[in-house]
């Protein structure tokens, strides 16, 4: 779970500058930590062949960790490989994703946002920050961690 007020977001990108890729065929997933007034790049997970097999490799921020089948076989489930790469993220921004992929992403606790057309990553982050500051929608409040019970403050009932 994210720290309240922080969002770890994933962005599908082929050029590392904009949301310009479909989820299943993206060459990279870029990961940012976004707060109300700041955003910082955390990592990039790269996929060889843009969805045509191969494993995902983490960029400098991830220590070169390999994702997926260690044998590099063509049977690697590319959707699951990308879902695994988004571990800890709360929101995914992508150009498109199939219903199957959307279910897998949602089951991983990530809220998928489909973009109508390619947009610069900076523009997406700024728009998200404006939404965070001005009465965020329910899905965003949930992603931000609001309304989650803090176990430190729950009173246990005596049996």
Three-class SS state of 31: strand
Under 8 Å between Cβ of 43 and 62: yes
pLDDT of residue 54 exceeding 80, the answer is: no
pLDDT tens for 15-51 read 999 999 999 889 999 999 999 889 999 999 998 755 4
Confidence of residue 53 (pLDDT cuts 50, 70, 90): very low
* CA distance linking residue 100 with residue 95, whole number of Å: 15
Q: How many other C-beta atoms are found inside a 10 Å radius of the C-beta of residue 122?
A: 11
Q: What is the pLDDT of residue 63?
A: 42
* Separate counts of helices (H) and strands (E) for the chain: 4, 9
pLDDT tens for 56-107 read 555 554 444 444 433 233 223 788 899 999 999 999 999 999 999 999 999 9
* CA distance linking residue 11 with residue 13, whole number of Å: 6
Q: How many other C-beta atoms are found inside a 10 Å radius of the C-beta of residue 130?
A: 11
Under 8 Å between Cβ of 110 and 91: yes
Under 8 Å between Cβ of 86 and 29: yes
Q: What is the CATH number of domain 7-153?
A: 3.30.420.130
Q: Which pTM was predicted?
A: 0.75
Half-sphere exposure of 77 (CA within 13 A, CB side): 8
Question: Which residue, chain included where needed, has tokens 């498109």?
Answer: 96
The mean per-residue pLDDT over the stretch 106-116 comes to 93
Q: What is the pLDDT of residue 77?
A: 79
What residues contact residue 60 under an 8 Å CB cut-off, 6+ apart? none
Q: What is the pLDDT of residue 33?
A: 95
pLDDT tens for 119-147 read 999 999 999 999 998 888 888 888 887 76
Q: What is the pLDDT of residue 150?
A: 58
Q: Where do the domains of the chain lie? A: 7-153
């Amino acid at each position: 779970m994210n720290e309240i007020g922080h969002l770890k977001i994933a962005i599908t990108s082929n050029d590392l500058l904009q949301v310009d890729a479909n989820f299943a065929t993206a060459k990279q997933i870029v990961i940012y930590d976004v707060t109300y007034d700041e955003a910082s790049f955390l990592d990039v997970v790269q996929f060889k062949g843009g969805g045509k097999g191969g494993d995902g490799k983490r960029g400098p921020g991830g220590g070169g960790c390999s994702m997926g089948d260690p044998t590099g076989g063509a049977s690697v489930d590319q959707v699951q490989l990308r879902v695994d790469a988004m571990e800890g993220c709360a929101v995914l921004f992508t150009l498109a994703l199939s219903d199957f992929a959307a279910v897998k992403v949602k089951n991983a606790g990530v809220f998928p946002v489909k973009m109508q057309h390619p947009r610069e990553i900076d523009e997406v982050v700024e728009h998200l920050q404006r939404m965070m500051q001005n009465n965020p929608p329910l899905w965003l409040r949930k992603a931000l961690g609001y309304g989650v019970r803090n176990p430190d403050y729950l009173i246990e009932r005596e049996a």
